[in-house]
Amino acid sequence: MSTLHLLETLVAFDTTSRLSNLALIHYVRDYLAGFGIDSALVEDATGKKANLYATIGPKDRPGVMLAGHTDVVPVDGQTWQSPPFALDIREERAYGRGSADMKGFIASVLAAVPALVNQPLHTPVHIALTYDEEIGCIGVRRLLDVLGDISTLPAMCIVGEPTSMRVVAEHKGKAAFRVKVTGLEGHSSNPAKGVNAVTNAARLVAFIDQLARSKAQSGPFDPLYEVPYTTLHVGTISGGTALNIIPADCTFDFEIRYLPADNPADLINDIKAYASALEADMQRTSPDASITFTERSTYPGLCTPPDAQVVRFVQTLLDDQTPPGKIAFGTEGGLYSEACGIPTVVCGPGNIAQAHQPDEWIALSELARCDHMMQQLVNALRSTL
Ligand SMILES: [Zn+2]
């Protein structure tokens, strides 16, 4: 089956992260079974979502893992020229939710399966498909547990997120938190009788902003990133019920996107230390006042050395010797690399600029370039890595 036909099929499954991805996973399982390939499904706690892991070729040798997420971001509130879950070809582009991020890559991998099974592979290919990547690399963590028990770990991994088929060896990591500030309610005519949760949250927000400014001014810096330093950002805040009531609650979310060379723990410790001092001050008026932190979508950065074997291997597949790039967005690659020790690069068809957008598209030429890489991979795996 052609890559485009497979992409059309994959896009037709609405795998928005809040929904089940099982229909797509079962489709892929059955497709692979048609070539005599077994798949292991790793379900989530509800049984409504699953990761898929399959090996083509000898199972007792470490191979090349091709990794991608099956979920897509919502289309809610977006205006599309064509139905988002029906692939539409216009002007040498394939339009559809997930076409670039990242069902195009998965389609190309699946289209290469006949070529992979039609010859004796010396080095195997592993296919890893996950759920819930878009909401914080959730699903892959269950797969990592399973991979941890496999005696023969993949030798290397290509995460096919859209990089316009450039080899990427580094991306930032992310640590995100929800902060809940609890004060003491009272009549606004006597502010000293209560503990203002909004004001105290604002102090903490201002402190985070101060850290952000000092990072932008003092680094560390890596000029190969578009934003060459670690960033801190507060994205949402809500608190209070009425102007004439001292607010007892305020909640805000912040994130740190850090250079792999930077240590987010230092920043988090600084923020928590400042919060502790605030909390102690609040408790002088109300012993029940508190500031609590809940960790949210967090993933490590990717930091593969530019001369690593996986980098050179993929450069050879692409016949492109330009130095590996660094990207601003996160991927599951940091987890495969950090948690399992699998040397990882990111390289896939399409441009991240089209991801998550209305009228998401992938150029047909990008799919052709990925198909070419897959063909080169098939050739390379006839021998040992
Ligand atoms: Zn993605």
What is 183-238 written as a DSSP string? -B-EETT-GGGSB-HHHHHHHHHHHHHHHHHHHHHH----TTSSS-S-EEEEEEEE
Q: Which amino acid is at 151?
A: S
Is-catalytic flag, 253? Answer: no
Per-residue pLDDT tens over the stretch 146-200: 887 777 899 999 999 999 999 999 999 999 999 999 999 999 999 999 999 999 9
Residue 234 Cα to ligand 1 middle (Å) = 23
Residue recorded with tokens 């890893």:
128
Average pLDDT for 5-10: 98
The residue annotated as part of the active site, out of 71, 134, 366, 371, is 71
CA 116 vs CA 47, 69, 112: distances in Å: 31, 21, 6
pTM: 0.89
Q: Alpha-carbon distance 381 to 120, whole Å?
A: 9
Residue 143 Cα to ligand 1 middle (Å) = 17
Q: Alpha-carbon distance 286 to 282, whole Å?
A: 6
- Can you give the pLDDT at residue 151? 74
Per-residue pLDDT tens over the stretch 124-145: 999 999 999 998 898 999 999 8
What residue ranges define each of the domains in the chain, with the CATH number in brackets? 3-171+301-380 (3.40.630.10), 173-299 (3.30.70.360)
The residue annotated as part of the active site, out of 133, 134, 359, 371, is 133
Residue 218 Cα to ligand 1 middle (Å) = 31
**What one-character DSSP code corresponds to residue 324?**
P
- Can you give the pLDDT at residue 349? 98
Which residues are CB-neighbours of 257 under 8 A, at least 6 positions away? 172, 173, 174, 227, 230, 231, 233, 328, 330
- Can you give the pLDDT at residue 91? 94
Pairing of strands 231-239, 156-159: unpaired
- Can you give the pLDDT at residue 145? 86
CA 240 vs CA 142, 181, 254, 286, 294: distances in Å: 38, 11, 19, 17, 20
Is-catalytic flag, 71? Answer: yes
Longest distance between any two alpha carbons in the chain, whole Å? 81
Average pLDDT for 28-48: 96
- Can you give the pLDDT at residue 212? 98
Per-residue pLDDT tens over the stretch 73-87: 999 999 999 999 999
Residue 317 Cα to ligand 1 middle (Å) = 22
Per-residue pLDDT tens over the stretch 307-323: 999 999 999 999 999 99
**What is the share, in percent, of the chain residues with pLDDT greater than 70?**
100
How many Cβ atoms from other residues are within 10 Å of residue 115's Cβ?
13
7 contacts 104 by C-beta, under 8 angstroms: yes
Higher pLDDT: 184 or 263? It is 184
Residue 73 Cα to ligand 1 middle (Å) = 9
209 contacts 215 by C-beta, under 8 angstroms: no
Instruction: Compute the residue count for the chain.
Output: 385
Average pLDDT for 335-364: 96
Q: How far apart are the first and last CA of the chain?
A: 28
